[in-house]
Amino acid sequence: MQLGADGRVAGAEFIASPNCDPRPPGEAVTLLVLHSISLPPGDYGGEAIERLFTNRLDPDAHPSFAALRGLRVSAHFLVRRDGALVQFVPVQLRAWHAGESMWRGRARCNDYSVGVELEGTDGSAFSDAQYETLTGLTRRLLDLLPIRDIAGHSDIAPHRKTDPGTHFDWMRFLRELTRR
């Protein structure tokens, strides 16, 4: 996996999200945040996630989408169930994935993090292909960015969020990450 000077990963499908902006001047990317998402909840595939991250989701298309009306969010990456990688925001820009958040006493995690969404739910296991893609992506990001920490959305916003959930196998991910 190669990361270009434009902040895009070679081989990832790129779908530009308008839900991003410049990071604060001099801000380094020191945190990787893992999330999970599926739209509608528990449904995989389709274009609903891409539509959400590009402000094209019809809130009337499914009852669960009503709560998302007017929401402006994004992530840098999405890892599909089959391991396909989609990128929405170049890594040098701030994606809007963390919301109100804090890590190690420092607020505004969007300012200094990269967000990776895994297609899934808090209550279901993730696929082997997802772990493989996530591991490769993370290795590349660790090689190129000054990332010091990896956390779940639940770790940076514990009173609001539960993802990536109890079925995300942190031990497996970290074990695979250290293998070369």
* Catalytic residue flag (residue 50): no
Structural contact between residues 97 and 110, judged by C-beta atoms closer than 8 angstroms = yes
CB atoms within 10 A of CB 30: 18
In angstroms, the CA 147 to CA 130 distance is 21
Confirm if 79 and 130 have CB atoms less than 8 A apart: yes
The structure tokens 């956390």 sit at 151
Q: Structure tokens of 24?
A: 């604060």
**Domains, the chain, ordered by start:** 13-178 (3.40.80.10)
Identify the active-site residue in 117, 119, 132, 176: 117
| Residue pLDDT, tens place only, 8-51 | 999 999 999 999 999 999 999 999 999 999 999 999 999 999 99
Number of other residues whose CB lies within 10 A of the CB of residue 169: 14
DSSP string, 88-115: -S-TTEEES-S-S-EETTEE-GGGGEEE
Per-residue confidence in pLDDT tens, the chain, 180 aa: 788 889 999 999 999 999 999 999 999 999 999 999 999 999 999 999 999 999 999 999 999 999 999 999 999 999 999 999 999 999 999 999 999 999 999 999 999 999 999 999 988 999 999 999 999 999 999 999 999 999 999 999 999 999 999 999 999 999 999 986
Q: What is residue 103's predicted lDDT score, i.e. its pLDDT?
A: 98
pLDDT of residue 4: 84
